[in-house]
Structures are given as structure tokens and as C-alpha cells.
């Protein structure tokens, strides 16, 4: 069931007309449906529970909005974080420290120390030296850091090159064939409770086969580690499950993914951790924007909207597809380009798109913008970060927009020697 529905000729988020939010909050504005987020969290949790003992940590890079995180915390999800800032956000949103996993290829010593001081549940180590440093920091504090080794299984996830993480040439993880030797050296360190492995091969995966191949390699590694006398009680299978951005795209469902995981891991006898991001948030959000101008083009008109690549970067970076729809569709369609005001030729959301016919002043939405949308926004061209709104039934609230109003550096902030 979609919580973004046309009712009475107008697109609503749950029961709230998007035109009302646009009128009251302004545009552009991100709008998230709490019911959709809740449903996605429940469906995912239930799907992976087929595989036995499981925990789910939302990859909060996908959507670190405090309201979204609070809601997911209430659904029993933890957080997968990749920076001290994300760690603090997860805690601020009410996530329990023990439900936080710290991933990331470049954690600083200060970030490792923060994780230890807060007592987070798991560190995913990316290299041997990181394990040595973490062990020392933990020992100084009289603690043992719960940790797993992130391995790079060298599989081609079949996703966009810019979001692939599990091939040998990617910067992520340790070569899987070196994991045993590194385990031998790190496991005895008194400051570490080295208890398993982690992997994550990429994002927006549309096919389960590469994941299954990667899991099979991890299965062999678990056997090898246990044969060498190591304790393997925890395996983190990462995130990556794809979503449908456009009609006809049929990524595996969470249920199919869960069934595959159950099959692939049935002999492992470990607690499994998952780090889904996109599958929880992408289709729970839209970016609402107003048509500023319809400008004639050589082959198609340019629909110039007030949202731009600084608000939603995915199209410019990954050539991603986001569906475009009118908030009040007239029933007529036309073929047009949709672009923002930023001074870059890549600030184009759609090219030669058959879409609802719109005119100046109309509202449109860019769909599937709930993941890697607001969080990747910048202030390029001195554009303010746009507000984010959470809808629940017939209510909505603006939550944790980072800069709600325009912020302009004033002359006081310019160093004297420049004045
Ligand atoms: C380590 C790690 N875990 C989880 C995720 C979340 O991925 P996704 O949003 O595709 O589920 C990512 C992003 O690709 C990641 O790098
Ligand atoms: N930001 C990317 C996904 C990267 C996933 C993080 N490792 C996207 O929008 O598709």
C-alpha cells in the first residue's frame, strides 16, 4: 500500500494534501510518511527473522532526520553509523548504544574513543591497524571492544560503479583471504572482543545472486576461522537491498531476501546483523517542488523547478531515476525536461520525460527521495537547506531541518586581515 495517494484529485502524504504543506512550509520541502517508514521497518524485520537470531541497524546515512530515527528506534531498530556525528544523532534520537554499529573505512581515534565511551554494540574493523588502535583505546579504559572484521569478498554486485563496495578494487573491507591471518593476530589482544565478520557489497542491489555468492564465501571463512580455534558468534551482512525507483523495476522483495539469507546462513549458528538503509527510507519520502518557469527548449520544454541538485544530488551523481508527478494531475501529459536553478548543466532531474503536463506555479514531486536525499544536500549556490516534514495520519511536523531559513555569512565573520 502506498501512503502517497491521489485523493480528490490531489496527491496526499497519508491524509495531508501536499499543497497544504507546500503552502504552509514553502517549497522545496521533503515530506516523509511515518506509516510507510513503519511498514518498511516491520516488513524488513519480519523478513530477516526467517534466518533465526537477527538484529537490524538502520544505515542512518540514508536518512539521519531525528524524527525518522526516533520512529525507527521505536520500531526496535538500531543504527549503523559511519561518523561521530551519526553516532551522536543515533543516541540523540533515542537509540540504545548497544544497538549501534560503527562502520566506515576511516574512523578517527576520537571517533573510536567516542564509541567506546558511549558503549556501542559493535565496531566493524576495516584494517588490522584499526583493530590494534581500538584494542589499545579500550584497554586504557579497562574495556573490551566488541568488534568484527569487515571482509571484502571480491564479488561484483552489479550495481552502479559509484555505489559498489565489495570488489577487490574498492576501498572497503579486508581481502577475505587475509582475514584468517588478521584474526590470528587481533583476537588475542585483551582490549578486543573479536567475535565475527561483516560485509557489505554495495547499494541498490537488484539481484540476490552476488549477495548469495558473497555469503557463501563468508560461510567458508567462518568454517576456516572456527577450525583455527576462533570464536565466531556474530556476522553482519550489511545492507544494499534495492528498491523500485520506476515502473517495471522489480528488485527482490525483503521476503525473498530473507529467504535467501536463511538458506545461505542455515549452518552458521551466529547472530546476524543487517544494515538496511535505502529499502527502509527511499520510498517513504518525496521532494515537493514548485514549477518556477516553463521555458521553451530545442526539443522539449524545460520545466524549471525550485528544487535543485544541491537538494537532491542523486540524479547528478549517479544518473539516478526519480519519478516526476504533478501534485494535482490534470490528466494531460507532455514530454519535457525537468531542471533546477543551479548553475550546472548536470542540474537536471529528468530528460525527455513523459510526465504530467504542468505550468508555472504548479507543484510537482520527485518520488523515492526518502533515502540519500536531504542528507546529501549542500548549500551550493548559497541555497538554504530545505526543510523536512514528517506526516502521520492527518498531522505533520517539521523535524530537524538543519538550516530552516537562509543563512548568510555576515561581515563580522570575515577575518580582519581581509576587510
Ligand atoms: C557499510 C554499509 N552498510 C549499510 C549501507 C546501506 O546500504 P543501503 O542503503 O543500500 O541499504 C551502506 C551503504 O551502501 C554501507 O556502506
Ligand atoms: N548515496 C548513494 C548510495 C550510497 C550508499 C552508501 N554506501 C545513493 O544515493 O544511491
Residue extents of the structural domains in the chain: 4-32+282-398, 104-274
What residues are labeled active site? Answer: 343
Task: Give the number of other CB atoms < 10 A from CB of residue 55.
Answer: 21
Question: What pLDDT score was predicted for residue 387?
Answer: 92
User: What is the per-residue pLDDT across 227-283, written as a single tens digit (0 to 9) for each?
Assistant: 999 999 999 999 999 999 999 999 999 999 999 999 999 999 999 999 999 999 999
**Residue environment code for 67-96, b if the CB has 16+ CB neighbours within 10 A, otherwise e:** bbbbbbbebebbbbbbbbebbebbbebebe
CATH architecture of 104-274: Alpha-Beta Barrel (3.20)
Q: Best substitution site from 173, 238, 278 to test ligand 2's pocket, by max atoms within 8 Å of Cβ?
A: 278
Residues of the chain with pLDDT under 50: 404-405
| Separation of CA 393 from chain center | 24
Task: Give the number of other CB atoms < 10 A from CB of residue 162.
Answer: 10
What is the value of ipTM here, to two decimals? 0.98
Least Cα distance to 266 among 122, 55, 53 occurs for: 53
Least Cα distance to 52 among 264, 275, 212 occurs for: 264
- Paired sense of beta strands 285-295 and 302-305, if any: antiparallel
The DSSP secondary structure of 242-282, one letter per residue, reads ----STT--PPPHHHHHHHHHHHTTTT-SEEEE---HHHHG
Question: What pLDDT score was predicted for residue 164?
Answer: 74
Question: What pLDDT score was predicted for residue 405?
Answer: 46
Q: Which residue has the cell 528488485?
A: 251
Record the cell numbers describing residue 325, joined without a space: 508527478
Q: How far apart are CA 128 and CA 174, in angstroms?
A: 9
Q: Does residue 314 have a known ligand-binding role?
A: yes
Least Cα distance to 11 among 372, 375, 354, 356 occurs for: 356
Residues 6+ apart with CB under 8 A from 7: 15, 17
CB distance 192 to 230 below 8 Å? no
Question: What pLDDT score was predicted for residue 168?
Answer: 82
**Ligand 2 neighbourhood includes 372 CB (under 6 angstroms):** yes
**Ligand 2 neighbourhood includes 163 CB (under 6 angstroms):** yes
Residue 205 Cα to ligand 1 middle (Å): 10
Residue 60 Cα to ligand 2 middle (Å): 11
CB distance 330 to 383 below 8 Å? no
Residue 43 Cα to ligand 2 middle (Å): 22
Residues 6+ apart with CB under 8 A from 168: 152, 154, 175
Q: How far apart are CA 24 and CA 199, in angstroms?
A: 44
4-32+282-398 placed in CATH 2.40.37.10: yes
Q: Does residue 344 have a known ligand-binding role?
A: yes
Q: What angle do CA 210, 319, 329 make, to 5 degrees?
A: 115
CB distance 349 to 364 below 8 Å? no
Residue 58 Cα to ligand 1 middle (Å): 9
pTM of the model: 0.96
Q: How far apart are CA 65 and CA 76, in angstroms?
A: 17
Question: What pLDDT score was predicted for residue 159?
Answer: 78
Q: Does residue 30 have a known ligand-binding role?
A: no
Q: Best substitution site from 59, 81, 314 to test ligand 2's pocket, by max atoms within 8 Å of Cβ?
A: 314
Record the cell numbers describing residue 5, joined without a space: 495517494
Nearest CA to ligand 1 atom 12: 239
Q: Does residue 240 have a known ligand-binding role?
A: yes
Residue 203 Cα to ligand 2 middle (Å): 6
Question: What pLDDT score was predicted for residue 415?
Answer: 73
Average pLDDT, rounded, for the chain = 94
User: What is the per-residue pLDDT across 171-229, written as a single tens digit (0 to 9) for each?
Assistant: 889 999 999 999 999 999 999 999 999 999 999 999 999 999 999 999 999 999 999 99
The DSSP secondary structure of 198-211, one letter per residue, reads E---BSSB--SHHH
Q: What angle do CA 322, 323, 328 make, to 5 degrees?
A: 135
Q: How far apart are CA 104 and CA 39, in angstroms?
A: 28
Question: What pLDDT score was predicted for residue 404?
Answer: 45
What stretch of H or E contains 23? Answer: helix 18-25
CA distances, 58 to each of 25, 117, 167 (Å) = 28, 21, 23
Nearest CA to ligand 2 atom 4: 163
Q: Does residue 276 have a known ligand-binding role?
A: yes
**Ligand 2 neighbourhood includes 204 CB (under 6 angstroms):** yes
N- to C-terminal Cα separation, the chain:
58
Q: At what angle do helices 109-118 and 84-92 cross, to 10 degrees?
A: 20
- Ligand 2 atom closest to residue 200's alpha carbon, by position in its atom list: 7
Task: Give the number of other CB atoms < 10 A from CB of residue 106.
Answer: 11
Backbone angles phi, psi at 13, to 5 degrees: -100, 115
Amino acid at each position: 500500500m502506498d501512503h502517497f495517494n491521489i485523493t480528490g484529485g490531489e496527491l496526499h502524504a497519508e491524509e495531508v494534501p501536499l499543497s497544504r504543506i507546500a503552502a504552509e512550509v514553502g517549497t522545496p520541502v521533503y515530506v516523509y510518511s511515518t506509516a510507510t517508514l513503519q511498514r518498511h521497518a516491520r516488513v524488513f524485520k519480519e523478513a530477516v527473522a526467517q534466518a533465526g537470531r537477527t538484529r537490524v541497524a538502520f544505515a542512518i546515512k540514508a536518512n539521519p532526520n531525528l524524527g525518522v530515527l526516533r520512529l525507527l528506534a521505536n520500531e526496535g531498530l538500531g543504527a549503523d553509523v559511519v561518523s561521530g556525528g551519526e553516532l551522536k544523532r543515533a543516541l540523540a534520537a533515542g537509540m540504545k548504544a548497544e544497538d549501534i554499529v560503527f562502520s566506515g573505512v576511516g574512523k578517527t581515534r576520537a571517533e573510536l574513543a567516542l564509541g567506546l565511551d558511549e558503549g556501542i554494540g559493535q565496531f566493524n574493523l576495516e584494517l588490522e591497524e584499526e583493530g590494534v588502535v581500538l584494542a589499545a583505546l579500550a584497554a586504557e579504559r579497562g574495556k573490551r571492544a566488541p568488534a568484527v572484521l569487515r571482509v571484502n569478498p571480491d564479488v561484483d554486485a552489479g550495481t552502479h560503479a559509484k555505489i559498489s563496495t565489495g570488489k577487490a578494487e574498492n576501498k572497503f573491507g579486508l581481502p577475505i583471504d587475509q582475514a584468517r591471518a588478521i584474526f590470528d593476530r587481533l583476537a588475542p589482544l585483551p582490549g578486543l572482543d573479536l567475535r565475527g565478520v561483516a560485509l557489505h557489497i554495495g547499494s541498490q542491489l537488484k539481484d540476490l545472486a552476488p549477495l548469495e555468492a558473497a555469503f557463501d564465501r563468508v560461510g567458508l571463512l567462518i568454517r576456516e576461522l572456527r577450525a583455527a580455534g576462533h570464536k565466531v558468534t556474530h556476522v553482519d551482512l550489511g545492507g544494499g537491498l534495492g528498491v523500485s525507483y520506476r515502473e517495471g523495476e522489480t528488485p527482490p522483495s525483503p521476503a525473498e531476501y530473507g529467504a535467501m539469507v536463511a538458506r545461505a546462513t542455515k549452518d552458521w549458528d551466529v547472530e546476524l546483523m543487517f544494515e538496511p538503509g535505502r529499502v527502509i527510507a527511499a520510498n517513504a519520502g518525496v521532494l515537493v517542488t514548485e514549477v518556477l518557469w516553463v521555458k521553451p527548449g530545442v526539443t522539449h520544454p524545460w520545466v524549471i523547478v525550485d528544487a535543485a541538485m544541491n537538494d537532491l544530488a542523486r540524479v547528478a551523481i549517479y544518473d539516478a531515476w526519480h519519478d516526476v508527478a504533478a501534485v494535482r494531475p490534470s490528466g494531460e501529459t507532455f514530454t519535457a525536461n525537468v531542471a533546477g536553478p543551479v548553475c550546472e548543466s548536470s542540474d537536471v532531474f529528468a530528460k525527455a520525460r513523459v510526465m504530467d503536463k504542468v505550468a508555472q506555479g504548479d507543484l510537482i514531486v520527485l518520488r523515492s527521495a526518502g533515502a540519500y536525499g536531504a542528507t546529501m544536500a549542500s548549500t551550493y549556490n548559497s541555497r538554504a537547506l530545505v526543510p523536512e516534514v514528517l506526516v502521520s495520519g492527518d498531522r505533520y511536523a517539521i523535524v530537524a531541518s538543519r538550516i530552516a531559513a537562509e543563512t548568510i555569512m555576515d561581515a563580522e565573520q570575515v577575518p580582519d586581515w581581509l576587510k
